[in-house]
């Protein structure tokens, strides 16, 4: 068995703390290196080989690269110390994923050339962490297990994800970003619906969905052509898209996607978020609400807009992009003259399709309302002369409608709930 700790120079020896410097740490052939309660500055590389391991209950301060070829997690399961990367353009590599306990990344860019796990805490300080096509996992479900400052995680490849474990209904931030974007960060927040243990992963890609190559964690095969979209979608953002995937657990989560209003392109205002549906092979509106960000969120690089999900997200498909929505269709309205939701309103209909035509039917197929164009003014009364048994007011029920946007579009068929309260 061999262990190489090159040029170890002790600076100070205390009863419980060792402070020293070494040019490299190289372990081989089942060797165990014990760094209890020690602070080591490693000027060269760390290389762990052939079933060897490091027991680290101190702080390994590394200015070069980390390679794990041990066949194990490199650090023993009873290691509770920190590994700090403080050099320039450092990498985490090897044939085996490393299992860090505490990981601190400072300065410049750190590159993941292999999957790795952080059990307790991840500190990002003035650092870009590039995942490439790898998965970086933070296992501690405490929301404070992740801290960052002037930094973000770049998951540019489709297989790359930043993964967090959850066990509460608190909000878990995922500080993803990319240097190619203005203001760089496009943070996602996930809020689980229960405190059951789950694992969620997020990624950000600056490739146009139409040009993407590969398969996402949910099994969605790229490319995701932007021309394949539901009729209510006007355009798909080609500058970037997100991956949001539930790797394990039964609880679902609501999402907030933070972005910049300057992300709007070609006079298209993003009004929702679309989800790529693998079964239908098209983009479909996921009913996000776009709102301005009123407060200054410095840690998110001051985003100006946020897309908030109405629906919980599942792991069926995991590709999401900002969308210029043609129309927003409600599921219900309440014509009770309280000044709120009193009419059946299809947002943006008049602005986008002034030549539209609508026909509304009851459950027996009788026409209760028809208009060309529809001006968002149906208040739940019947305009049909044959339906006057109860006067103009229609009963609470589900009504069906066909909407033709213009002479070149096929009819859209949907339903609307009329609720009287």
Between CA 187 and CA 213 the distance in angstroms is: 23
- For residues 319 and 246, what is the distance between their CA atoms, to the nearest angstrom? 12
Confidence at residue 56, expressed as pLDDT on a 0 to 100 scale: 94
pLDDT at position 316 is 78
CA–CA gap between residue 139 and residue 97 (Å, rounded)? 14
3-state secondary structure of 176: strand
Q: Is the dihedral of CA 291, 294, 300, 304 positive or negative?
A: positive
Residue with tokens 């629906």: 311
Q: 3-state class of 172 per DSSP?
A: strand
The stretches in the chain having pLDDT less than 50 are 1-17, 387-390
Q: Indicate the DSSP class of residue 249.
A: -
Q: What is the pLDDT of residue 392?
A: 73
pLDDT score for 261: 83
Burial of 297 (0-12, 13-18, 19+ CB in 10 A): middle
What is the reported pLDDT for 9? 32
CATH of 332-418, one of 1.10.287, 2.60.40, 3.40.50, 3.30.1370: 2.60.40
Q: Which helix (H) or strand (E) holds 339?
A: none
Helix intervals (H) in 325-416? 349-352
Q: Which residues pair with 69 in a beta bridge?
A: 49
Torsion angles phi and psi, residue 218, rounded to 5:
-85, -5
CA distances from 167 to 30, 123, 196, 232, 345 (A): 36, 20, 5, 36, 39
Local structure of residue 420 (DSSP, 8 states): -
Contacts of 337 (CB under 8 A, 6+ apart): none
pLDDT at res. 130: 98
DSSP, collapsed to helix, strand or coil, labels residue 266 as: coil
CB 318 within 8 A of CB 274: no
User: 149 is written with which tokens?
Assistant: 């400052």
Q: Within 10 Å of residue 235's Cβ, how many Cβ atoms?
A: 21
Domain extent listing, the chain: 2-325, 332-418
Distance from C-alpha of 134 to C-alpha of 47, rounded to nearest angstrom:
20
Closest by CA position to 119, among listed 173, 72, 164: 164
Half-sphere exposure of 400 (CA within 13 A, CB side): 8
Name 127's Cβ contacts closer than 8 Å, sequence gap at least 6.
105, 106, 107, 108, 109, 110, 151
| 256's tokens | 């907030």
Taking CB atoms within 8 Å and a gap of at least 24, the contacts of 307-310 are: 307/255, 307/256, 307/257, 307/259, 307/270, 307/272, 307/273, 308/254, 308/255, 308/256, 309/254, 309/255, 309/256, 309/273
- Could you report the per-residue pLDDT of 316-338, keeping only the tens digit for each? 789 999 998 777 789 999 998 88
Contact 397, 419 (CB under 8 A): no
Q: Burial letters for 77-96: b for 16+ Cβ neighbours within 10 Å, e otherwise?
A: eebebbbbbbbeebbbbbeb
Task: Give the per-residue pLDDT at 11.
Answer: 33
Burial state string for 158-168 with b = 16 or more CB within 10 A and e = fewer than 16: bbbbbbbbbbe
Phi, psi of 167 (to 5 degrees): -150, 30
pLDDT value for 28: 84
Helix (H, G, I), strand (E, B), or coil: what is residue 323? strand
Other beta carbons within 10 Å of 246: 23
CA 374 to centroid of chain Cα atoms? 37
- pTM of this prediction exceeds 0.85: no
CB atoms within 10 A of CB 330: 14
Sequence-distant (6+) residues with CB within 8 A of 298 are none
Which H/E stretch holds residue 372? none
Q: What share of the chain is helix, strand, coil (3-state, %, to 5)?
A: 5, 50, 50
């Amino acid at each position: 068995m061999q262990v190489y700790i090159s040029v170890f120079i002790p600076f100070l020896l205390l009863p419980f703390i060792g402070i020293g410097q070494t040019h490299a740490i190289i372990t081989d052939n089942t060797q165990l290196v014990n760094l209890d309660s020690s602070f080591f500055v490693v000027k060269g590389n760390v290389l762990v080989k052939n079933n060897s391991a490091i027991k680290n209950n101190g702080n390994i301060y590394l200015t070069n690269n980390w390679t794990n070829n041990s066949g194990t997690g490199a650090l023993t399961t009873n290691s509770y110390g920190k590994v700090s990367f403080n050099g320039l353009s450092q990498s985490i590599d090897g044939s085996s994923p490393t299992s860090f306990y505490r990981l601190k990344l400072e300065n410049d860019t750190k590159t993941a050339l292999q999957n790795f796990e952080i059990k307790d805490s991840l500190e990002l300080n003035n650092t870009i962490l590039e995942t490439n096509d790898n998965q970086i996992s933070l296992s501690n479900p405490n929301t404070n297990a992740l801290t960052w400052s002037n930094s973000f995680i770049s998951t540019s490849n489709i297989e790359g994800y930043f993964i967090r474990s959850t066990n509460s209904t608190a909000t878990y931030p995922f500080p993803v970003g990319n240097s190619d974007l203005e203001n760089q960060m496009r943070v996602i927040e996930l809020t689980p619906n229960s405190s059951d243990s789950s694992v969620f992963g997020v990624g950000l890609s600056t490739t146009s969905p139409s040009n993407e190559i590969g398969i996402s964690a949910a099994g969605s095969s790229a490319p995701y052509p932007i021309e394949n979209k539901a009729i209510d979608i006007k355009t798909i953002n080609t500058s970037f898209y997100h991956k949001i995937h539930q790797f394990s657990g039964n609880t679902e989560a609501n999402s907030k996607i933070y972005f910049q209003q300057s992300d709007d392109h070609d006079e298209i205002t993003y009004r929702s978020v679309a989800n790529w549906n693998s079964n239908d092979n098209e983009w479909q509106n996921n009913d996000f609400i776009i709102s301005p960000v009123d407060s200054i969120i410095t840690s998110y690089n001051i985003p100006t807009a946020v897309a908030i999900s109405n629906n919980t997200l599942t792991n069926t498909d995991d590709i999401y992009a900002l969308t210029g929505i043609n129309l927003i269709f409600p599921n219900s309205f309440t014509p009770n003259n309280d000044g709120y939701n009193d009419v059946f309103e299809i947002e943006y209909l008049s602005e986008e399709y002034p030549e539209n035509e609508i026909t509304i039917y009851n459950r027996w197929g009788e026409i209760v309302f028809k208009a060309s164009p529809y001006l968002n003014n149906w208040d739940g009364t019947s305009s049909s002369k044959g339906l006057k048994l109860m006067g103009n007011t229609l009963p609470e029920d589900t009504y069906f409608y066909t909407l033709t946007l213009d002479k070149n579009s096929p009819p859209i068929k949907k339903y609307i709930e009329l609720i009287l309260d």
